[in-house]
Amino acid sequence: MKTKRASRSLVEASGGKSYLVPFVLVTSLFLLWGLAHGLLDVLNKHFQGVFTMTKAESGLVQFSTYIAYFLMALPAGAFMRRFGYRRGIILGLSLFALGAFAFIPAAFLHSAGPFLVALFVIACGLCILETAANPYATILGPPESAASRLNLSQSFNGLGWILGPLLGGALIFGAPEGDSMALAKPYICVGAVVSLVAILFFFVKLPEVKPEEERDVPAGHLSLALWRHKQFTRAVIAQFCYCAAQTGIFSFFINYVTEVDPSISNLQASRVLAFGGMALFMIGRLVGSAAMRWFQPSRLLMGCALAGAVCMALVFVSMGTVSLYALYLSFFFMSIMFPTIFALGLEGLGEWTKKGSSYIVMGVAGGAFSPMLMGYIGEREMAMGFIVPLVAFLYILYFALTCRPSRGG
């Protein structure tokens, strides 16, 4: 179904004011946390070798990261409501940098535990950033282009996902044998960049934009009214499923590729992940952002969820090269899901937008559990573990089918 094209600029307020500069600054955050998440997929495979972990045990890398989203999402939302988006972003960046630099002492302890703690601290910062930046991007312009605007920002998140495996693969898999600082090196680089961005946000004044409908309401009334929005409730579940699917696929991509083709090394597989899977992920975000100017976000989500389920079915049956290409293509179809589910879930919430954002971010906790489950199911044959993202995509298809038409349609 086609929609009416927005008459205003993507980042223009109703009064004609441009939010271009705040939008560019906030979009830079998407690249940074994409980089952090992209590094995880290298760590997962590396931990299996260095710390002699099973596939299920290496899922603790993702668990220590994504469980932070579940624990921090509501406190992050409360902080944002009291102190605003700008201070929330600075706090998130500070924790991000602290966790990254914590990899330095962890490298001298020769144990997985300290690295997992450092990842948890990083994730607490990422949770705050996502709780702030996702809704902030949706309201920096016309409401009817919120999903398109968020997909554009998330496109740079896709660039971070490309850079993560490249940086991690080069500095970790490419390190000389016995290099005790191999795991710390990419995080030292990331910590330095994040620190500079935090300083920039400290000195640059951002407008505290609020949705037009936002107002103060009693906390109890807010919570009850929020959960009466069926589309929002389904969005929380859909986001949980999406993050379970995405994290599982990303985490075991290297395992799957090296099992299907043993001639491919871990370093080569990390490059395939960057230039193959993650590149398609970024292209999908760019294409999706443009397509939402003319097509309903829920319709695009429906098509991508169906295509993603088909890809996972082909990966599950393990048909060699065909399954490999299906795995690559799944990155393209996954690309629009997170921001689109997020935008559809917040649609029509008005005064409950910040609170709703916190609950949807909590759905990222799906990524904490799926790698361990997929690792357990696929311990002998990795293909079997991909039943988990298959089921997740089927629920997202259901969510898309039940969404009401977006505003501006």
Instruction: Give the three-class secondary structure for 326.
Output: helix
From 298, 338, 331, 297, select the one nearest 312 (Cα to Cα). Answer: 331
pLDDT given for residue 8 in this prediction = 54
Average pLDDT over residues 52-67: 88
Q: What is the pLDDT of residues 66-89, one digit of tens each?
A: 898 888 877 887 888 788 888 889
pTM of the model: 0.75
pLDDT given for residue 13 in this prediction = 67
Q: What is the pLDDT of residues 300-343, one digit of tens each?
A: 999 999 999 999 999 999 888 899 999 999 999 998 998 899 88
From 299, 36, 39, 29, select the one nearest 150 (Cα to Cα). Answer: 29
| Axis crossing angle, helix 337-346 with helix 112-138, rounded to the nearest 10 | 50
Average pLDDT over residues 90-113: 93
- Which whole-number Å values give the CA distances from 250 to 85, 243, 286, 404, in the listed order? 30, 10, 20, 31
Residue 408 has pLDDT above 80, yes or no: no
CA–CA dist 362, 395 (Å, integer): 17
CA–CA dist 233, 395 (Å, integer): 13
Residues constituting the chain: 409
> Of all residues in the chain, what percent carry a pLDDT higher than 90?
32
Q: What is the dihedral of CA 162, 168, 171, 176, to 10 degrees?
A: -130
From 377, 399, 351, 387, select the one nearest 81 (Cα to Cα). Answer: 351
